[in-house]
Amino acid sequence: MTQWLTGARDDPDERAHRLVAAALRAAYAWTVRHTRRDAMREVARMTGVVMEAHGPGHGPTTPLDLVACLRERLGLLPALAAGTDEAIAQVVLLDSDDRLTSDAYDLASEYALPVGGPSDAAQWMPSWTWMRADQIRSETFIALIEGNGQESYVASRRLLIEHPAGSRAELSDLISETGVRPPRRGYTDIPTDHLHRSSGGETWWWPCPACRWPMGVSGTTVRCRYRPHAAVYHLTEGRTATSRPTLRRIDEGPSMARPVARPAADSCCVEFGVWRFVVVPGASELRVQQRLENLGATVELWPELDRYDLHVQAGDKEFRIDLKEYRSPYRLIADLRAKAPSARVLLPKTHEHQLGILQTAMPSLQVTTETKFCTEVRRALRTV
Ligand SMILES: [Zn+2]
């Protein structure tokens, strides 16, 4: 058996990770089979990876068997049945219309990694279906760092996080006015399932109030693809066929400004992988920075060209902080075990519930929550 097929280490967690990655990739390829000639070849290749993970006599044995499994809970696959990651076992990747589900985008995308050896699929499959999240992050940051000092790096990364979507004219003005670097793959068209087409033919999108990337649109329901950005809206058509549609909040979360529809003609956004693994955590980093500065602390973003996330000075105390925002605590633990963090881990307010599981799995890890850390900073500022 060659190493690319079995992976470097063949423990059950590694095998389960590979299996989820292959299932996600097969599910994506299946959704584009009518437009991509080589999509079925990719589904077949991923069937090979899934078969290998199960061993002879278990699990799906043909591409169509695998596709049938993707319409059910992943936990029904024998190799995932005994896994500890209950959240991923509940995930269904394809809905009844054979479209990718929200969970596929939201949770399973954290499991993407290269599987099945070199292939041409990298040319046409989006990076988030086959690249590890940390690879997408480092590829983006290296491009921002190249030839630039710390100040310019921070400005470019900030621009990317604060403007993940907009009109082409507005974004190109911003880039030329500020002189910052645009993201490596630039901005691309807004995906069609993030747009609403009015009866008059106009298309519209809405920025998420938390991350500013276009929210997903499903019928008359509009919400961010990233579940912790929990605001959900009901869409109502404008009074005439060409007027602007409006949103009404239907969940019971804390109140926030209501997003206004923006015309999609001439609008663009960063690609999904950059949004999910750079913009989403970045929005929390900027929010926590602002909150600490409001308390009176001095905060430096991504010091020493991103050795860690935040350097915080409060009174005579200094803190080094790394925010960690994973949907799956199991993926977070696996990544922390593979690469020790270079600062204290902070769970932002949407992820504070993961503290217990993290402390149990890694008792020696330096970890805190946004709430606890703010209390610590307030105390440090009072003792000055
Ligand atoms: Zn969002």
Q: pLDDT tens for residues 294-318?
A: 999 999 999 998 899 999 999 999 9
Give the Cα separation of 286 and 40 in Å (integer): 42
Ligand 1 center from residue 193 Cα (angstroms): 15
Ligand 1 center from residue 15 Cα (angstroms): 31
Ligand 1 center from residue 228 Cα (angstroms): 8
Give the Cα separation of 360 and 281 in Å (integer): 24
Does residue 84 carry a pLDDT above 70? no
Give the Cα separation of 7 and 1 in Å (integer): 10
Does residue 147 carry a pLDDT above 80? no
Does residue 8 carry a pLDDT above 50? no
Ligand 1 center from residue 104 Cα (angstroms): 16
Does residue 96 carry a pLDDT above 50? yes
Residue 222: φ, ψ to 5°: -125, 125
Q: pLDDT tens for residues 184-213?
A: 777 899 999 999 999 888 999 999 999 999
Q: pLDDT tens for residues 104-117?
A: 998 889 999 888 87
Return the structure tokens found at 221: 């329901």
Ligand 1 center from residue 229 Cα (angstroms): 5
Ligand 1 center from residue 275 Cα (angstroms): 9
Task: Note the Cα 282 to chain centre separation in Å.
Answer: 11
The pLDDT of 344-362, averaged and rounded, is: 96
Does residue 363 carry a pLDDT above 60? yes
Does residue 3 carry a pLDDT above 60? no
The pLDDT value recorded for residue 123 is 80
Give the Cα separation of 135 and 109 in Å (integer): 13
In percent, the amount of the chain with pLDDT more than 90 equals: 65
Ligand 1 center from residue 226 Cα (angstroms): 6
The pLDDT value recorded for residue 78 is 84
Return the structure tokens found at 353: 């519930």
The pLDDT value recorded for residue 181 is 75
- The residues spanned by each domain of the chain are 3-131, 136-272, 274-382
Show Cβ contacts of residue 96 under 8 Å, excluding neighbours closer than 6 positions.
71
Ligand 1 center from residue 280 Cα (angstroms): 7
To the nearest whole number, what is the mean pLDDT of the chain?
A: 90
Give the Cα separation of 112 and 129 in Å (integer): 6
Q: pLDDT tens for residues 159-168?
A: 999 999 999 9
CA angle 378, 379, 382 (to 5 degrees): 90
The pLDDT of 21-25, averaged and rounded, is: 95
Does residue 79 carry a pLDDT above 90? no
Ligand 1 center from residue 258 Cα (angstroms): 13
Task: Note the Cα 330 to chain centre separation in Å.
Answer: 15
Task: Please tell me the least confidently modeled range out of 18-27, 144-153, 255-264, 362-371.
Answer: 144-153
Cα dist. 159→53, 162, 182, 193, 201 in Å? Answer: 42, 5, 8, 25, 32
Q: How many CB atoms lie within 10 A of CB 29?
A: 25
Ligand 1 center from residue 224 Cα (angstroms): 5
The pLDDT value recorded for residue 6 is 44
Ligand 1 center from residue 291 Cα (angstroms): 19
What HEC string does the chain produce? Answer: CCHHHHCCCCCHHHHHHHHHHHHHHHHHHHHCCCCCCCHHHHHHHHHHHHHHHHCCCCCCCCHHHHHHHHCCEHHHCHHHHCCCCHHHHCCECECCCCCECHHHHHCHHHHCCCCCCCCHHHHCCCHHHCCCHHHHHHHHHHHHHCCCCHHHHHHHHHHHHHCCEEEHHHHHHHHHHHCCCCCCCCCECCCHHHCEECCCCCEEECECCCCCCECEEECCEEECCCCCCCCEEEEECCCCCCCCCEEEECCCCCCCCCCCCEECCCEEECCHHHHHHHHHHHHHHHHHHHHHHHHCCEEEECHHHHCCCEEEEECCEEEEEEECCCCCHHHHHHHHHHCCCCCEEEECHHHHHHHHHHHHHCCCCCEEEHHHHHHHHHHHHHCC
Ligand 1 center from residue 7 Cα (angstroms): 34
Ligand 1 center from residue 276 Cα (angstroms): 9
Ligand 1 center from residue 227 Cα (angstroms): 8
Q: What is the pLDDT confidence band of residue 178, given thresholds at 50, 70 and 90? A: confident
Show Cβ contacts of residue 107 under 8 Å, excluding neighbours closer than 6 positions.
87, 88, 91, 227, 327, 328
Give the Cα separation of 153 and 302 in Å (integer): 9
Ligand 1 center from residue 29 Cα (angstroms): 25
Ligand 1 center from residue 176 Cα (angstroms): 26
